[in-house]
Amino acid sequence: MDKDILDVFERYLPNLKYDKKLYIAIQKFRIGWMQKSDEYLEFLGGNLLGVQPIRFSTRDDGMFFTDILNLDLSTIKNDLHQLEGINPEWSVTSNPAYLTLGYLMHMFMTSKDIGNFKDNAIREVYFIFAYKVMSSRISRYFPFSADKNLAMATYEKLSNRFLIKKLGSWQAVFEYRAEDIIDKKGLHHNNVLKYHTENATNMLMDIHGRINETVKNVYSVMIDVRDSGGSMTSTTQLEMGEDGEVIKDMTNRPDMYINYLYSIIGSRNDLIKDDLLNLITLILPNTKLEVLKDTLIAISDSDTNKAKGKDDIIDPIISISLKYLNNRQGNHDYVSDMLGTLTLLKNYWGGSKTTDPNIGKIKKYLDKLIVKTTKKKTKWVRSTTVLGVILYIFLRTIAKDTYR
């Protein structure tokens, strides 16, 4: 009877060579899984959770473990479950696929045949492990796909203590976590290097647990966003019309919408709507609501003369935003996905690579106005408020028919 997990794998995989050829085969499988459909690429390259129904199927298991490793998981499972320290009732630490992936990382780490590809080979195996666990967790928490607007609102609510918020994509999160194994000071480097039964189960439990907690914590925020009053007022309370009427109208007759905004901008009660302000804070969660509102009041209240030059920003904000949206490739539904539209504009106006000189002028004008009106000099408060005012002006224009 085998005494340790290494004894089992050495008996089942006696002739497997842990070299560049195996590494390339594993990499090709991993890239092939990523490219199963556009949804898989969108998930890994994006930051939303529950929208794309990614799955690591039985067929995927067969292609990897049977075709590449020539290993029958059902056969090795019986012997692994006989080992002291592996409890068959614990689904994670007794999972033969997880245990095998851990063993592969160990063998690449200790291999003399892999050369300079060692770290990359370990990463590839870890990615497959992470994809498999992540797929199972998404299936658990999202038996049906999440609403995209809700997922976007959830992401905007996340703080930087969430890795996905800090790093920006799920693939980046997995790359970051792989260093826990590759880095010699990493949390699980020694567990992989000395891959005995206890180390193996400890490592699998922790890695699986971290991925599960990540999904669970984002899911909890999503439930809060869904249940919070006003958090989803964005696309449900605005009368957008059918078949993209608003965006089409704005494209065909932008002057009509610009003139509408000029007609209301002098009345703070007409210009400033609380539900629209709430939407802006959903897109820009760090926005100081009172600073944003005071700046809009200054723009509206011409008697104060604090907003001198405002005519130079209203038309450009709407025109530049429309031009950007119209020139974007793809078939984005700007109307029904208003959160997505505002997020696109946030990234465009907030980016550093925009070439339109008017953008810099508008932002400079608003920055000075914020300091003069609100006395706020903190850089991040000013920059967030500048972006908030720009998005609000565009949003208030689109919402023209909602407040007639």
pLDDT tens sequence across 279-292: 788 778 788 889 99
Question: What confidence score (pLDDT) does residue 240 get?
Answer: 42
pLDDT class for 310, splitting at 50, 70, 90? low
Q: What is the mean pLDDT of residues 294-316?
A: 69
Q: CB-based contacts of 242: which residues, under 8 Å, 6+ apart?
A: none
Q: Which residue has the tokens 């009345």?
A: 267
Task: Look at 73-82, 98-107, 177-186, 278-287 and tell me which has the smallest mean pLDDT.
Answer: 278-287
pLDDT of 3 reads 82
- C-alpha separations of 336 from 103, 127, 209, 390 in Å: 48, 35, 37, 20
Q: How confident is the prediction for the chain on average, in pLDDT?
A: 85
- Going by C-alpha positions, the residue among 383, 384, 396 that lies closest to residue 274 is 396
40-52 mean pLDDT: 93
SS3 at position 370: helix
Q: CB-hemisphere CA count at 13 Å for 192?
A: 33
pTM of the predicted structure, to 2 decimals: 0.59
Confidence at residue 237, expressed as pLDDT on a 0 to 100 scale? 40
Sequence-distant (6+) residues with CB within 8 A of 36 are none
Cβ neighbours of residue 279 closer than 8 Å, sequence gap 6 or more: 233, 234, 338, 339, 342, 395
